[in-house]
A and B are shown apart, each in its own frame.
Chain A
């Protein structure tokens, strides 16, 4: 069993770049794919990154995903921030027989 830990909140200005981290507590971050889901206020989640780095069709290339085995973490980077990017972001991975979600990060664009 492992946990995924995200910062509770991050904030940045429009036009800037922000990175949200997701640290795996045990086992290698590279062992299982990491996904990122965006949930705008009052809305259902949408998938912005799957399989560590892949962007679904329709997701702007301002969104990118990566993993770093040295810090055992995954990251979601959003460049050219827009006010519409303000949302909760959840990382998620797979642990043998079940999914594991991070606690979520609230992104404020101000």
Chain B
């Protein structure tokens, strides 16, 4: 199992962004895949997950409405996107494969998102 995330991003407040996580080495449509945020010097926060097989998507209430999680099974890639970034979105975002709905068993290397005017 391998999860490879897109590279670091530098954006301004109000800009849009879409980061990616490509899964390989397993059946992409049969496992949940999702995102966790880690702000500088802080702990882990669950953003949400998607089941690529039927696009069932679950969000943390803290992130619902501010981000969108999607997946393209044809290229075994999951996405996390923002339509309008805030400075408070600056963090490292890790993707993970769900061992089940309730945990990750494999992790990506992380994508650093910097938001600054």
Binding site for B on A (CB under 8 A): 32-33, 35, 37, 39, 44-47, 50-51, 56, 90, 92-94, 97-104
Binding site for A on B (CB under 8 A): 36, 43-46, 58, 60-61, 94, 99, 101-110
A97–B110 Cα distance when bound, in Å, is 24
A67–B31 Cα distance when bound, in Å, is 26
Partner of B103, one of A35, A98, A104: A35
Given A46-B107, A102-B43, output 5 extra A-B contacts at Cβ < 8 Å. Answer: A35-B104, A37-B104, A90-B43, A98-B46, A98-B60
Query: Is B61 touching A98 in the complex (CB atoms < 8 A)?
Result: yes
Query: Is A104 touching B44 in the complex (CB atoms < 8 A)?
Result: yes
B40 CB, min distance to chain A CBs, angstroms: 12
Query: Is B103 touching A44 in the complex (CB atoms < 8 A)?
Result: no
Query: Is B94 touching A44 in the complex (CB atoms < 8 A)?
Result: yes
B94 CB, min distance to chain A CBs, angstroms: 6
Contacts of B103 in A (CB 8 A): 33, 35, 47, 50-51, 92, 94, 99
Contacts of B61 in A (CB 8 A): 98
